[in-house]
Structure 1
Amino acid sequence: MGRLDGRVAFVTGAARGQGRAHCVRLAREGADIIAIDVAGPVEGAHPRPATPEELAETGRLVEETGRRVVTARADVRDLAAVARAVDEGVERFGRLDVVVANAGVMAGGRLWELTEAQWDVCVDVNLTGVWKTLRASVPHMIAAGNGGSIILTSSAAGYRGYPMSGGYGAAKHGLVGLCRTLAVEVARYNIRVNTIHPNGVRTVMGRPPSPEALKAIGLDDHDLWMFGQVTASALPEGTQEPEDVAATVAYLASDEARFMTGTALQIGAGNQLM
Structure 2
Amino acid sequence: MGMLDGRVAVVTGAARGQGRAHAVALAAEGATVVLADIVDQIATVPYPLSTRADLDEAVAEICAAGGSAIAVETDVRSSESVRELFDQVDARFGRLDVLVANAGICAFSEVDAISDEMWSDMIETNLAGGFRCIRAAVPLMKRGGFGRIVAISSGAGRGGMRNLGHYSASKWGLIGLVKTVALEVATAGITANVVCPTTVATPMVLNESTFRIFCPELEHPTLEDALPRFAGLSPMRVPWVEPEEVTRAVMYFVGAAHTSGAVLEVDLGSSANRT
Q: Cα distance, 1:232 vs. partner? A: 2.1
Once residues 143 and 45 of structure 1 are traced to their aligned partners in structure 2, the CA distance between those partners, rounded to angstroms, is 37
Which AA in structure 2 matches 1:249?
A: V
Which AA in structure 1 matches 2:157?
A: G
Residue 273 of structure 1: aligned partner? 272
CA contact (8 A) 1:14 1:37 kept: yes
Q: Give TM-score, length-normalised by structure 2.
A: 0.89
Residue 203 of structure 2: aligned partner? 204
Residue 163 of structure 1: aligned partner? 162
**Corresponding position: 1:235 with 2:236:** yes
Q: Cα distance, 1:90 vs. partner? A: 2.8
CA gap of 1:94–1:64, structure 2 versus 1, over 3 A, is farther
SS of equivalent residue, structure 2 residue 186: helix
Once residues 212 and 195 of structure 1 are traced to their aligned partners in structure 2, the CA distance between those partners, rounded to angstroms, is 27
Range with greater deviation from structure 2 (74-83 or 237-246): 237-246
Residue 249 of structure 2: aligned partner? 248
Which AA in structure 2 matches 1:60?
A: A
Q: How many residues align?
A: 262
Residue 175 of structure 2: aligned partner? 176
Aligned ranges 1:72-91 → 2 under 5 Å: 72-91=72-91
Once residues 183 and 212 of structure 1 are traced to their aligned partners in structure 2, the CA distance between those partners, rounded to angstroms, is 36
- Report % sequence identity: 37
1:122-141, Cα deviation, whole Å (9 max, x unpaired):
11111011111112211111
Aligned ranges 1:1-274 → 2 under 5 Å: 1-145=1-145, 147-207=146-206, 209-211=210-212, 215=216, 232-254=233-255, 257-274=256-273
Which AA in structure 2 matches 1:241?
A: E
CA gap of 1:229–1:70, structure 2 versus 1, over 3 A, is closer
1:88-114, Cα deviation, whole Å (9 max, x unpaired):
223222311110000001121101111
CA contact (8 A) 1:79 1:136 kept: no
1:65-105, Cα deviation, whole Å (9 max, x unpaired):
32322211110011221221222223222311110000001
Q: CA RMSD in A?
A: 2.1
Which AA in structure 1 matches 2:167?
A: Y
Displacement over 3 Å in runs of 4+? 211-214, 228-231
CA contact (8 A) 1:161 1:169 kept: yes
Gaps of 5+ in 2: 219-228
Once residues 261 and 213 of structure 1 are traced to their aligned partners in structure 2, the CA distance between those partners, rounded to angstroms, is 36
Once residues 231 and 135 of structure 2 are traced to their aligned partners in structure 1, the CA distance between those partners, rounded to angstroms, is 33
CA gap of 1:260–1:212, structure 2 versus 1, over 3 A, is closer
Once residues 80 and 174 of structure 1 are traced to their aligned partners in structure 2, the CA distance between those partners, rounded to angstroms, is 22
Which AA in structure 1 matches 2:9?
A: A
CA gap of 1:203–1:190, structure 2 versus 1, over 3 A, is same
Q: Give TM-score, length-normalised by structure 1.
A: 0.90
Once residues 61 and 37 of structure 1 are traced to their aligned partners in structure 2, the CA distance between those partners, rounded to angstroms, is 16
Once residues 6 and 43 of structure 1 are traced to their aligned partners in structure 2, the CA distance between those partners, rounded to angstroms, is 39
SS of equivalent residue, structure 1 residue 57: helix
Once residues 234 and 195 of structure 1 are traced to their aligned partners in structure 2, the CA distance between those partners, rounded to angstroms, is 22
Once residues 128 and 215 of structure 2 are traced to their aligned partners in structure 1, the CA distance between those partners, rounded to angstroms, is 28
Which AA in structure 2 matches 1:104?
A: G
